[in-house]
Chain A
Amino acid sequence: MTTVLDHPTSAPGNSAMKRPLIERLNVFTAFGLGIISAIVFWYLARTFLPENTEGSFIKTRLDAVTIIAMLGWFFGFMTGIGALIGPFRWLLGKDLDHDESMFYAGKDQGIKRYFRYTTDHKVVGIQYLVITIIIFFVGGTLAMLIRMNLGHAGGGWLQPQTYNAIVGTHGIVMIVGTIIMITGPFGNFIMPIMIGARDMAFPRLNALSFWLIVAAIPPMLSSFFFGGISTGWSAYAPLASQAPPGMDGYIMFIVIFAISTMVAGANITTTVVKMRAKGMTWNRTPIFIYGVVASVALALPVFPLFFLSQVMSAMDRAVGSTFYDVRGGGSGWLYENLFWIMGHPEVYVILIPAVAALMEMAPVFTRRPLFSFNTAIMGIAGISGLSILVWAHHMYVTGWAPLLNGPFMLTTELISIPTGMLFLVLIGTLWRGRLWMTMPTASIYALLWNFMIGGITGIYLSDVPVDGALHGSMFVTAHFHYTLMGAGLTGALASLVFWFPKMTGRMFDRRLSWIAFWLVQIGFNVAFIGMFLVGLAGQPRRVDAYAALFNQGNSVTTMAAYSIMAGMLVLLYGVISSWTNGAIAPMNPWFAKTLDWTVPNPVPLENFEVLPVVTSDPYGYGKAQS
């Protein structure tokens, strides 16, 4: 089929003599140009910005310089990667010609296409997978540092400033990692094939969303050299306003990441709405697609607020505005509202695709239809809808609006109804199935267990009087790890094993997947049940040292955390070894019925030679009864 795409004029060797600009740009030119541009911007800002006003409480110069330098990095990086070539052509009234579009799609470039601004959704999916692994590696290392600090009796092994920076960075790194962990790799690689499309609706936006994330990471990591993100991932004002310039790294990171999420959200939503195969009506669309769309569609209205909250934070720091400064008429509550209006839907942005992915796997591994497809959709839609109305349950004890505590308690507890629907669908599918025990199958059980604990502890916390006792304690930390890690990450690891054969052409080593599963799940449950107990006993969150009363619980948690680390390292080893020399995967190793298993390995550039026509939903398992 590739012959159809070959342009008649593209003679071999032609490009080698005079390589056009588009072929010379890659991740190395991007980093080079980014660094140069950051230095130039930094120098100009340093030279031309006025000194701080004597005696004023507003000191903006240092932050202004830092932010300008980071903007320089950002523009340099995006130029260097080639993101601006298309827009520039449009300004000139032209567009990329056929050869260039093919080059953009990564045709015949082997491994180099992964280091370029490549538009092919499969390349973007792999890029997302790798960056997710890197993000989890960084975040996991920071988590182990946190546990090492708290594993000492009484804590206090690290300096408080270092510890706070580690906690904040761990938080934001993991939040971003979990947001992209399913919709990034699997939403980009698998989703278009699953709906029978040749690519995403906007391939160049797809590449843009990925490279924006790469551009966002260095400013965030650089913060370690400028005082760190010492405010926790929530970065409440006015604590964030008095933080060192490391905070600017956080702000730039969020601003760029929010753009990336919005771009990806618009792209994925459009793709699913407009590009499903012929015959794939909404009730024949796989449930995983619903999960991905709900996730990104939920991010669309709320991430602009995250973006804005950080822009305002940057303005407070760099130009002396007082959005969040009570001395100038602002309010820290404004920040808290903006932050949590994004912050609560965001946990469902993480959770919904994970549950939906396991729902997609459940029929495959029980060899029977998904139980009550409509209930699954109701559950996903109900959670998405309600989740934008619950944000102030993070603010029960702030004193912002005590009269609203009741209404927000109502909306929050209502979420338990659609959440219960998701449980019903999973458990109903397992019931009377023929269990094919694989690591993804076990993950369904692990999700039920973990999510049950996360859910019930959520009911305690949603209750205003109980929250008065537990808010801000380790109990909360354990609760959201149970939902985001126990449920979310479990779904993502199962997705990795499940779709690994399609993405890499090789099977994931079965033994390693099981070892990793048990190490992670057992370690996880011991670690975080220990954390629940110290939280109940009154250990606050985000403390680097604690009373002797909490010694026991903390050392249990730390020991179990090593088990999680071991499991994740086994999994990482499994990814590398299986990817390089695992068993060659057949086209459909799980004998599943969705479209993604009907394309050969490796998946051809345009996925389908002939676009498929869908005549039924993909859950037609089970023997008909007479």
Chain B
Amino acid sequence: MSDLDVKKRPSIFKRKDVRLTGFLWVIFSVAIGYFAGEVQTRSMGAPASDTMATTINMMKVFTWVSAPIAGLVGALAATTLLSKLHFGDTPPEEADHEIRNSPRIVSGWIVVSAVLCLFAVVWGMVVLQKDDAALLNPKSMNVNVVGQQWVWNFDYVDNGKVRSSDLYLPVNKPVVFHVTSKDVIHSFWIVQMGIKIDANPGYLTETSVTPNKIGVFDVRCAELCGLLHAYMQTKVHVVSQADYDSWIQSQGGKI
């Protein structure tokens, strides 16, 4: 028997600290995924469009995907904190090893983070592509949005000369917004539908959405636009097609 055999350390998965970390990792990952996912999606409220539903879903999945990473870092950190801590003016004795690197761990870490990163990118691209394609949908109705300090105006260009300061939309009909501004940069944001596009003076920008729920929702300005930025908000009334048609007629527009 040589000294080497006596000092041989147990296999890595039998070490106490490694087992503790593994145990904490599972708990932390599930806890982070569940609580972070739940809390965030609950705060975002009920979606009023598919766009918002997809967004909420994406956030949930991102949370679950990153939970094991965050959980692992947390578990490793917690394990080190559960070891013997030293307080005082003089240092504790030196650690019982001088490990400076582990190519296996480093390369494994990089590969895993690269894979997760690519997953996020690819999935984001797919959804982005869908959102962009919606802009070109020929069945969409068109609304021109004009921001100015500190009100929104909506022109229903498909229905003649109708203008309103509250936005009215028929449910389940795709709509494309053509957005511009009269003075400074504003940002047109329908909170519960998860869409946002800046209103720039001198340029037209576009975004689209299909509202899928009847109700009253919020439009807020999301770009600081001066004195009354906080008050630059209005409502979206999503109504049935019939109600929408009668509202348009009451405003003197044609269907």
Chain A residues close to B by CB (< 8 Å) = 155, 160-161, 164, 230-232, 236, 238-239, 242, 326-327, 331-333, 366-375, 397-399, 402, 405-406, 409-410, 413-414, 416-417, 420-421, 423-424, 427-428, 430-437, 445, 448-449, 452, 456, 459-460, 462-466, 468-469, 471-473, 532-533, 536-538, 540-547, 589-591, 619-626
Contact = CB atoms under 8 A, between A and B. Distances in A.
B77 A465 contact: no
A456 B106 contact: no
B202 A326 contact: yes
A332 B94 contact: no
Contacts of B44: 469, 536-537
Given A465-B131, A469-B55, A368 B97 contact: yes
A452 B203 CA distance: 38
B106 A375 contact: yes
A456 B70 contact: yes
Interface stretch (B107-115, B155-163, B164-172, B238-246): B107-115
Given A420-B113, A433-B80, A238 B201 contact: yes
Interface residues of B, number: 96
A296 to B, nearest CB: 27
B10 interface: no
Contacts of A236: 184-185, 223-224
Nearest to A471: B196
B51 A430 contact: no
A554 to B, nearest CB: 13
B205 A399 contact: yes
Given A462-B120, A623-B96, 13 more contacts: A232-B224, A331-B202, A413-B121, A413-B124, A420-B110, A430-B76, A466-B58, A469-B194, A469-B196, A471-B222, A472-B189, A546-B230, A625-B96
A24 to B, nearest CB: 46
Interface string B180-193: 00011101010110
Contacts of A161: 227
Interface string B204-235: 01110000000000101111111111110000
B255 interface: no
Residue among A369, A424, A541, A620 with most chain B CB within 10 A: A424
Nearest to A467: B196
Interface of B: 3, 7, 17, 36, 39-40, 43-45, 51-52, 54-55, 58-59, 62-63, 66, 69-70, 73-74, 76-77, 79-81, 83-102, 105-106, 109-110, 113-114, 116-117, 120-121, 124-125, 127-128, 131-132, 179, 183-185, 187, 189, 191-192, 194-198, 200-203, 205-207, 218, 220-231
6 contacts: A369-B99, A398-B205, A435-B84, A472-B223, A540-B229, A622-B99
Contacts of B95: 366-368, 432-434, 621-623
Contacts of A537: 43-45
A543 B59 contact: no
Contact of A164 (B70, B89, B195, B227): B227
A399 B98 contact: no
B121 A432 contact: no
Nearest to A363: B95
Contacts of A164: 224, 226-227, 229
A503 B225 CA distance: 45
A333 B185 CA distance: 10
Contacts of A472: 187, 189, 196, 222-223
B109 A409 contact: no
Contact of A397 (B92, B196, B224): B196
B93 A434 contact: yes
Contacts of A432: 17, 80, 95-97, 99
B99 A326 contact: no
The 8 A-B pairs of least Cβ separation, nearest first, read A399-B205, A326-B202, A472-B222, A622-B98, A543-B230, A368-B95, A536-B43, A469-B194
A533 B38 CA distance: 12
Given A372-B100, A417-B114, A537-B45, A468 B223 contact: no
Contacts of A463: 58, 62, 120, 124
B83 A435 contact: yes
A397 B101 contact: no
Residue among A155, A420, A625 with most chain B CB within 10 A: A420
B40 A542 contact: no
A160 B230 contact: yes
Contact of B200 (A332, A416, A590, A626): A332
Nearest to A231: B224
B189 A465 contact: no
B117 to A, nearest CB: 5
B197 A622 contact: no
B185 to A, nearest CB: 6
A409 B125 contact: yes
Contacts of B189: 472, 540
A332 B185 contact: yes
A239 B184 contact: yes
Contact of A155 (B96, B105, B116, B230): B230
A622 B230 contact: no
A371 B99 contact: yes
Contacts of A591: 90-91
B124 to A, nearest CB: 4
